[in-house]
């Protein structure tokens, strides 16, 4: 079986607002010549293009997707929000939440983005593909049911998961979010549910500033099915792999999902302008292979990666390609031009020991029964 890659040109045409980094221009913040949020199309377009240049695209099943339907969106988002979004989008765009500016037609583009995730999840769940990547844009993991934020207008992964559930394709789903920011939207959707394991590995209090704590472990039926691993700035390759080995993989094995979905952000990379972590393209490749092995053991290999953040236009394509080479088990690689530099810049032994102790403490804490709630 093959590896799928779901993408659509129209998602690259989403845009809106004039920002400098995440600051709205005005006052003392001068407008940028090329205005817009750091969440731009270039990281994704260059990632997709690199697959063509190396030839890996020829080994993948490249595919578009229908837009997610209103019914699909309404399984996750209240119709009041959807109607407000659609109306603003039809009237030229706007801003409904926090840092989610959008232009005309954004509702349809966001529905396409969710549709890419939906189609990827359905194809893998049906056994048509071994695994898949959905190059979604706008991203989704920050979007709460009724409150868009952090560049996210619809929660793509939740929409895809619930569409697959409605079709009877999946029951227990594990969502591993290694985007450097907390997956607060996905957490909110599933916080009270025991059928969906949500794991977020993120830089502590980067974004949002007040969510993603270790102690937030779900409520009601969802107690124990929400795991947050907030890391201090500077954690690199070794620390991320320790998190995988000591926390993420045991949690996946304990939960026994029918499918694993990765909220695949590349903003934990050392070059990202919106974070302060030290992951490399190799880090993403190894984590992908680890999750593939878990999926093989737990759910016939059913694994879908859904694109989230990642803001280094130069480096994201190499991280993305590393994930695709791993998913497709291909010999075609895009050697990381920054590999030697990043190896040298990893935390020194003393810092690494500090991170290792901290991560081991979190792993230990998560073994304690979560508070009933
Ligand atoms: Zn992010």
Distance between Cα 148 and ligand 1 center (Å): 14
What per-residue confidence (pLDDT) applies to 231? 98
Q: Locate 32 and state its tokens.
A: 């940028």
Query: Could you give the CA distance from residue 73 to residue 156 in angstroms, rounded to a whole number?
Result: 9
The list of the chain residues with pLDDT below 50 reads: none
Exposure pattern of 320-353 as b/e (b: 16+ CB <10 Å)?
bbbbbbbbbebeebbebebeeebeeebbeeeebe
Contact 4, 63 (CB under 8 A): yes
What per-residue confidence (pLDDT) applies to 35? 61
Q: Tell me the whole-structure pTM to 2 decimals.
A: 0.97
What per-residue confidence (pLDDT) applies to 74? 98
DSSP string covering 121-188: HHHHHTTSSSEEEE--SS--TT-BTTB-BTTBSS-HHHHHHHHHHHTTS-SSEEEEE-SSS--HHHHH
Tens-digit pLDDT profile for residues 225-251 = 999 999 999 999 999 999 999 999 999
Distance between Cα 14 and ligand 1 center (Å): 17
Burial of 199 (0-12, 13-18, 19+ CB in 10 A): buried
Query: Could you give the CA distance from residue 136 to residue 119 in angstroms, rounded to a whole number?
Result: 11
Q: Check 142, 181, 182, 307 and give the catalytic one.
A: 142
Cα 109 to Cα 12, 105, 196: the distances in Å are 9, 6, 27
What per-residue confidence (pLDDT) applies to 27? 84
What per-residue confidence (pLDDT) applies to 293? 98
Distance between Cα 141 and ligand 1 center (Å): 8
Beta bridge partners of 6: 63, 134
Q: For the chain, how are helix, strand and coil distributed in percent, rounded to 5?
A: 40, 15, 40
Contact 360, 246 (CB under 8 A): yes
CB atoms within 5 A of ion ligand 1 belong to 179, 181, 265, 267, 309
Distance between Cα 199 and ligand 1 center (Å): 14
Annotation says 77 is catalytic: no
Q: Which CATH superfamily is domain 3-367 in?
A: Histone deacetylase domain (3.40.800.20)
Tell me which H or E stretch contains 95: strand 94-95
Tell me which H or E stretch contains 203: strand 196-203
């Amino acid at each position: 079986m093959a590896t799928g890659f779901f993408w659509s040109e129209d998602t690259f045409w989403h845009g809106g607002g004039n920002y400098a980094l995440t600051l709205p221009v005005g006052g003392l913040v001068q407008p940028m010549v090329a205005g817009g949020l750091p969440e731009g199309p270039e990281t994704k377009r260059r990632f997709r293009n690199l697959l063509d240049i190396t030839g890996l695209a020829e080994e993948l099943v490249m595919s578009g997707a229908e837009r997610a339907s209103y019914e699909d969106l309404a399984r996750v988002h209240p119709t009041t929000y959807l109607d407000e979004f659609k109306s603003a989008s039809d009237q030229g765009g706007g801003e409904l939440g926090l840092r989610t500016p959008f232009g005309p037609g954004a509702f349809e583009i966001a529905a396409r983005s969710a549709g890419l995730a939906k189609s990827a999840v359905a194809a893998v769940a049906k056994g048509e593909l071994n695994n898949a990547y959905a190059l979604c844009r706008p991203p989704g993991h920050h979007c709460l049911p009724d409150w868009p934020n952090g560049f996210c207008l619809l929660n793509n992964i939740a929409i895809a998961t619930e569409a697959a559930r409605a079709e009877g394709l999946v029951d227990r789903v594990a969502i591993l979010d290694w985007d450097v920011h907390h997956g607060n939207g996905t957490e909110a959707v599933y916080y009270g549910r025991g059928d969906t394991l949500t794991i977020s590995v993120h830089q502590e209090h980067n974004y949002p500033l007040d969510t993603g704590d270790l102690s937030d472990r779900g409520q009601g039926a969802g107690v124990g099915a929400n795991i947050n691993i907030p890391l201090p700035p500077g954690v690199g390759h070794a620390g991320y792999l320790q998190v995988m080995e000591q926390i993420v993989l045991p949690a996946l094995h304990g939960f026994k999902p029918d499918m694993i979905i990765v909220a695949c952000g590349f903003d934990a990379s050392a070059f990202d302008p919106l974070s302060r972590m030290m992951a490399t393209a190799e880090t993403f490749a190894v984590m992908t292979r680890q999750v593939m092995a878990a999926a093989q053991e737990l759910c016939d290999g059913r694994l879908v990666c859904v694109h989230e953040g990642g803001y280094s236009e130069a480096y994201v394509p190499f991280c993305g390609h590393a994930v695709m080479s791993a998913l497709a088990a291909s010999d075609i690689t895009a050697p990381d031009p920054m590999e030697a530099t990043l190896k040298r810049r990893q935390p020194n032994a003393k810092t690494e020991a500090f991170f290792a102790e901290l991560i081991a403490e979190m792993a230990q804490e998560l073994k304690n029964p979560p508070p009933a709630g």
